[in-house]
Every structure is written in C-alpha cells, then in structure tokens.
Amino acid sequence: MIDEKQLMKLQNGSDIRGTAVAGIADEPVNLTQEAVRCITGGFLDFLTEKNGKPVTELTIAVGHDSRISAPDLKCAVLSAILSRGAKAIDCGLSSTPAMFMSILFDETKADASIMITASHLPYNRNGMKFFTERGGLEASDIKKVLSYAAKNRVPASNEKKAASFDLLSVYASHLRKKICEELSAAPEDKPLAGMHIVIDAGNGSGGFFASKVLALLGADTTGSRYLEPDGMFPNHIPNPENKEAMAAIKEAVLENHADLGLIFDTDVDRMSAVLPTGEEINRNALIAMMAAILAPDYPNATIVTDSVTSDELTCFLENELHLHHHRFKRGYKNVINECIRLNEEGTISPLAIETSGHGALSENHYLDDGAYLAVKLLIAATKAKKEGRTLQSLIERLAHPLESSEYRLKIKGVEDAKDYAGEVLNAFAARAKESGIKIAEPSYEGVRLIFPQGWALLRMSLHDPNMPLNIESREKGGTDIIAKKVKTLLSDLTSLDLSVL
C-alpha cells in the first residue's frame, strides 16, 4: 500500500511526475494505478473544499497524450472518479490546453479536468496535470491534493463507464474559428489556401493540427512528419528545445519549400517554428516574434519572460517594439502568475513566455498553449505572404549573442540544498561587488552579473539539487572568459561541484 511519503515524492512543481513503465535500470515504477486512484480521489476532495460542491455533483474531464502507459492510468483515473459518484468525461487522446478548455466549452462544461502527461520526458515516465476554471493548480495546491490522496484508498472498479467525447475536434474547431476571424474569412473560403505548412508532432498529440486545423482551411501540409501518435517516440524527443527535433522540422521545411514549419511537444502546450529560410524561431526569437505580432494591439505593454533571456532580446523589445521587458523567474507557472498579477494591478501585459516555448496570452485565458501560439504565427505568416512581406521581417532587427552556454553545478554533501544555494548566491553577489563586477538589478531569480563580453546568471534549480549557470557573450571566446571569472568567485565553496567549468 502506497504511503504519504511515497505520494509526496511524485510532486514536480505544479504537476505530478513519476515512472509508469518498468524496464529502465534504476527507475522503479512509482506512478502506479493505485497511486493514480489515490491522487484522483485527493483531487476530488480538493475540489469539494474549494467550491463547496459535493463530489456527486462534480463533472471531471480526463484526457491523455500518446504515452504507452496512458490507457492503464486513464482507467485508474476514471475508476476513481466514478467510484466516488462523480461524472467523468473520457476525452481520449488530447492536448493539455484542450483539457483546460473542456471547462469552458459549452459541449463539456466540466468542473475540472485531468491531463495524463509527462510532457517531453521518456516513454517510461508519465504524470498528471490538473485544471479548474482558474487554470492549472499551483505547487501548494498539488501538495494539498497529495495530502488528501494519502487518506484516500480508492478501490479499482469497472462497474461504471465514462461517457466518451471527441474533445480534440471541438478544440480544433475553436482554433479554426480564431484563424477565420483574424483573416476575415469563412471556413468554406479556405483562408489558408496557398499556404504550405509542415507540422512535426513528434508522435505526440499534436498531429490533429495538420488534419483538423490546417487542411480543413485549405493549407497544404505535404511533408509533415510524425503525426501518428506513438508513445515510444521512435523518431525524436517531442521537445522544441531538443536539437534533433529542431533539425527534423528544419529539414522538412527546406525539403518541401514550405512557408512555415511548426513543431509541438508531446502534449502541445509548447511550440517552436522554422521559417522558409531554415531560420529557427525558438527561445529568444520566438519571444521576439510573438511580441512583434502583439505590439500593434498592445502599445507600451509589458512582456514577461523567464530569467535566462538575452540582453539582445531586451534591446529589441524596448528599442524596436517600444515595449517593456520584465525578466522574471524560470518556470511557466511563475511567468504566467506574474503576468496575471501585473494585469490585475493595471500594468498591461499581453504575453508571459519562457525560452522553453511555454507561452501564455492574456487574450487566451493565460493558458500556455502551443497550438494557440501556432495560430498567431500562422495568421501573421498568411497576412505577410498576401502583402508581399516575410514573417522574418518582424524580427529582422533582433540581434543574437555570439556564444551561449549552460552549466549545472551539482550541490553535494549538504542536508538542505536550497539553503546552501542561498548561501552560495549571497557569497557570489558579495564577492562580485568586492571585485567591481556589476550586478543586474532588479533580479527576481539568482544573481546576474554583467561583464564587458556579456553576462552570467547563477540560480537554484527549480527541482534538482544543482545550480544552473547560464552565460552569454557577444564576443568569440567570451563565455570561457566569463566562466573562469565565475569559477574564481566560487572557488572555495567546496559543496558546489565546479568541475564542469
């Protein structure tokens, strides 16, 4: 029988993550069907506490990505919901953003939803994301769900069946409607006719975008890759941050002379793109592109990003687009919550976006939705082509650092890695100041040092006992110079592994 300590280990920030399939050395299965039933029961208790509804009046939508463990875990989730007397909607293969929208769509109107996914992690891993009408749960909410889960012992039951619903088709219709509205066209007018768009779904859930969005509006999707769901991910990691994944979509664009390439992660809450020239639109370029698309409708607005964005991006946002750059913390929930906070305080902020490809728009319920970002890019690309312009022209003045490196400095031999990381950062800042090295202010995460060649950011990892060090340089060889200076500042901190520097 699973205990509370084991359940708590499954928390990964604002999600649940664990090993669901045996066969990988040193990765024992801990996300079992029993654990999933208990966690689902804990979520039901959390909901009744939050909204006052008895469990028997709740409707929960459930979906999953293409992972091989999804069918068994979905059965466990549905069993727990139905055994408690709540109503369950089986949405089958879905995307994370679509599962949130199941709460808003008239066709479903769920009280809450559960998405079974582990994003881009390997095939043996899986997890759970939870949504209410306020969006995804916070890390503190997950902790509460797990504390309730420890008190739930939900037996397996197959006596009741959940109603099945094709949520992806409704979600795709929602996206098509947005495209048609922005292009002032009816669906039957095929507003994407003449556009050649290739998709790389990485064998995750995103294949629907080619068949249920693009093709129905007249786009040519010839050359799209890996659209069929396959939870073993045989072609490449479904992750827009992965070099092999980006190489695959770039190759597809160039081979097929496409107008645009779009790549999604497994559960479609992240995306990146490739232009006809093969230029990759990810990380800083994706942020710049989305900001450029939004700028005319949100003059002087604030763009919220994570902490590792480049100085060149700041210059582009502020000097070219006349927007404000608010560099905040890593973690998609962090940037989203900061965007919400700013808007509630009266500071207009239309976009919260991480370099990882998580991007949330205020116009889209602050939902990090890779397909919605793709729609915005697609609309801009279609308008540009009709006007004889290129999508690249939106960011042609964006500069890029010449060199970029990330090192992970492991913390070893201490009881509390978080406390030790705090001590390291205090010492790092004090020593930098003593050495006359400028410290960037304000800093919402870690310590960012400014050097003649570029910058270095040292921070605590969100989940692991290490300290990531990001360095960028405008000069060749600059990252090595900066790394050596950083190593000198940290040299006598013996519980910090500097061997990678």
Supply the DSSP string of 154-184, one letter for each residue. PPP--SS-PEE--HHHHHHHHHHHHHHHHTT
Mean pLDDT value of segment 293-319? 97
Q: What is the pLDDT of residue 151?
A: 86
d(CA 324, CA 368): 21
First to last CA, the chain: 45
Q: What is the pLDDT of residue 161?
A: 85
Q: What is the mean pLDDT of the chain?
A: 96
- Rounded to two decimals, the pTM is 0.94
Torsion of CA 363, 368, 372, 374, to 10 degrees: 130
**Do the Cβ atoms of 353 and 333 come closer than 8 Å?**
no
**Residue 283 pLDDT greater than 80, yes or no:** yes
Tally of CB atoms within 10 A around 26:
5
Residue 13: both structure tokens together: 């920030």
* 432-490 per-position pLDDT tens digit: 999 999 999 999 999 999 999 999 999 999 878 999 999 999 999 999 999 999 999 99
Strands 367-368 and 454-458: unpaired
Q: DSSP code of 122?
A: -
**Residue 158 pLDDT greater than 80, yes or no:** no
d(CA 223, CA 501): 42
Q: What is the pLDDT of residue 365?
A: 97
Q: What is the pLDDT of residue 155?
A: 67
Mean pLDDT value of segment 383-395? 96
Q: What is the pLDDT of residue 4?
A: 87
Q: What is the pLDDT of residue 474?
A: 96
**Would you place residue 221 in the very low, low, confident or very high pLDDT band (cuts 50, 70, 90)?**
very high
- Name every residue whose Cβ is closer than 8 Å to that of residue 425 and which is 6 or more positions away in sequence: 446, 447, 458, 459, 460
Mean pLDDT value of segment 313-337? 96
Give exposure, 67-88, as e/b (b: 16+ Cβ within 10 Å). Answer: bebbeebbbbbbbbbbbbebbb
- Please provide residue 160's backbone torsions phi and psi, each rounded to the nearest 5 degrees: -110, 155
CA distances 112 to 80, 173, 177, 391, Å, are 14, 21, 24, 38
Torsion of CA 491, 492, 494, 497, to 10 degrees: -10
* 330-379 per-position pLDDT tens digit: 999 999 999 999 999 999 999 999 999 999 999 999 999 999 999 999 99
d(CA 361, CA 368): 7
What string of H, E and C letters represents the secondary structure of 451-469?
A: CCCEEEEECCCCCCCEEEE
Q: What is the pLDDT of residue 159?
A: 62
Q: What is the pLDDT of residue 478?
A: 97
* Crossing angle for the helix pair 370-386 and 167-182, to the nearest 10 degrees: 30
Mean pLDDT value of segment 82-104? 97
Torsion of CA 104, 109, 110, 113, to 10 degrees: -30
Which domains does the chain possess? 4-165 (3.40.120.10), 170-395 (3.40.120.10), 403-490 (3.30.310.50)
**Do the Cβ atoms of 305 and 313 come closer than 8 Å?**
yes
d(CA 284, CA 55): 45
- Name every residue whose Cβ is closer than 8 Å to that of residue 190 and which is 6 or more positions away in sequence: 217, 218
